[in-house]
């Protein structure tokens, strides 16, 4: 079973779908009133979008989550080293909190996790708080979308935030598949689409493995997820030519921080669109 070119996995740093983590950069210190408005747990912020792979200082404008907003603050913690020293402990804290907050692995949802840290100037003036920001994305690997309402419990019960069918946007190749995939947009399964989420692959290595080895591991895992999703044996799925698996994931910095999860999707050809789930 051929795997779609690992454009979105980009553990080698060539990810066009997700913004890499960005170092905190100096900025003007907030005024006392602005500092007082920084959102706490359960509050939301507006005015600036978040990226799936942000670990940086941003301007936070607190709003009630019932209003239109870009992200929801789910945790406020204390840094023990300067904000440019990205640490696995901070990511692990945000990851664990996010799972508890939504009721499952947030990677299974239309969700991104960003970490907001003080700017260099704020750090020098005594700011030590970091914030875990959870948000709904408009397309896998891209920035937050404006929304109203809380994300809390989004993967419990009816799982309203769970990933399902996707509208695959890209450039077809001469063989009728994809020369390039630009984004996967969540869509109702009753609407024409040609992609669907089938499961997760999570790497166990603490250091980034050889790229060729990683591709083999991800391909094998995603093929297995897709076969189980379709109710087929892996050998039967591997023999099919009308579907392919497609993984999306993070980058080197986030692998080092502890986010080693890849989303597995199954795709049909650009001219073969469905109006229902492929799930067995």
Residue 240 falls within a domain, yes or no? Answer: yes
- Would you say residue 215 lies in a domain? yes
Residue-wise pLDDT tens digits, 190-229: 999 999 999 999 998 878 778 888 888 999 999 999 999 9
Smallest Cα–Cα separation from 21: which of 57, 53, 51, 58? 53
pLDDT tens for 164-194 read 999 999 999 988 899 999 999 999 999 999 9
Identify which has the larger pLDDT, 150 or 51: 150
Residue 209's pLDDT is: 76
pLDDT of residue 181: 93
- pLDDT given for residue 204 in this prediction: 84
* 128: confidence class by pLDDT, cuts 50, 70, 90: very high
Q: Considering its fold, how many domains does the chain have in total? A: 1
pLDDT in tens, 94-110: 999 999 999 999 999 99
Q: Is the pLDDT of residue 11 over 60?
A: no
pLDDT of residue 280: 66
Is residue 236 a part of any domain in this protein? yes
Residue 80 has pLDDT above 90, yes or no: yes
Higher pLDDT, 255 or 92: 92
In a domain, 204, yes or no: yes
- Domain with 205 in it: 165-268
Specify if 252 maps to a domain: yes
Which structure tokens are listed for 119? 């700017």
Question: For strand 195-202 and strand 261-268, is the pairing parallel, antiparallel, or unpaired?
Answer: antiparallel
Residue 245 pLDDT more than 70? yes
**In a 3-state reduction of DSSP, which class is residue 32?**
helix
Residue 99, helix vs strand vs coil? helix
Taking the model in full, what pTM does it have?
Answer: 0.86
Neighbour-count burial of 33, counting CB atoms closer than 10 A to its CB (0-12 exposed, 13-18 middle, 19+ buried)? exposed
Report yes or no on 157 lying in a domain: no
In this prediction, residue 252 carries a pLDDT of: 83
Predicted local distance difference test score (pLDDT) of residue 35? 43
Q: What is the pLDDT of residues 23-44, one digit of tens each?
A: 333 333 333 333 445 789 999 9
Task: Look up residue 137 and give its DSSP letter.
Answer: B
**Residue 47's pLDDT is what?**
87
């Amino acid at each position: 079973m051929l795997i779609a070119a690992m454009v979105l996995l980009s553990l080698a740093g060539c990810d066009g779908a997700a913004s890499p983590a960005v170092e905190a950069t100096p900025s003007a210190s907030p005024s006392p009133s602005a500092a007082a408005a920084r959102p706490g747990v359960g509050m939301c912020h507006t005015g600036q979008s978040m990226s799936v792979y942000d670990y940086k200082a941003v301007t936070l404008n607190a709003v009630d989550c019932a209003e239109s907003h870009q992200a929801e603050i789910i945790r406020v913690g204390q840094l023990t080293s300067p904000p440019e020293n990205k640490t696995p402990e901070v990511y692990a804290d945000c990851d664990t909190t996010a799972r508890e907050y939504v009721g499952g692995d947030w990677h299974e949802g239309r969700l991104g996790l960003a970490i907001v840290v003080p700017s260099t100037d704020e750090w020098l003036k005594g700011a030590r708080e970091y914030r875990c920001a959870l948000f709904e994305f408009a397309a896998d690997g891209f920035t937050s979308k404006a929304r109203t309402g809380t994300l809390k419990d989004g993967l419990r019960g009816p799982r309203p935030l769970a990933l399902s069918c996707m509208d695959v946007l890209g450039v077809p190749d001469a063989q009728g598949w994809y020369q390039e995939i630009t984004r996967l947009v969540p869509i109702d399964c009753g609407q024409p689409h040609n992609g669907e989420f089938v499961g997760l692959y999570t790497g166990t290595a603490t250091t980034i493995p050889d790229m060729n080895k990683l591709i083999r591991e991800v391909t094998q895992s995603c093929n297995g997820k897709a076969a189980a999703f379709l109710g087929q044996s892996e050998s039967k799925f591997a023999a099919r030519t009308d579907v392919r698996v497609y993984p999306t994931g993070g980058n080197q910095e986030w692998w080092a921080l502890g986010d080693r999860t890849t989303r597995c999707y199954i795709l049909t050809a650009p001219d073969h669109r469905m109006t229902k789930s492929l799930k067995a």
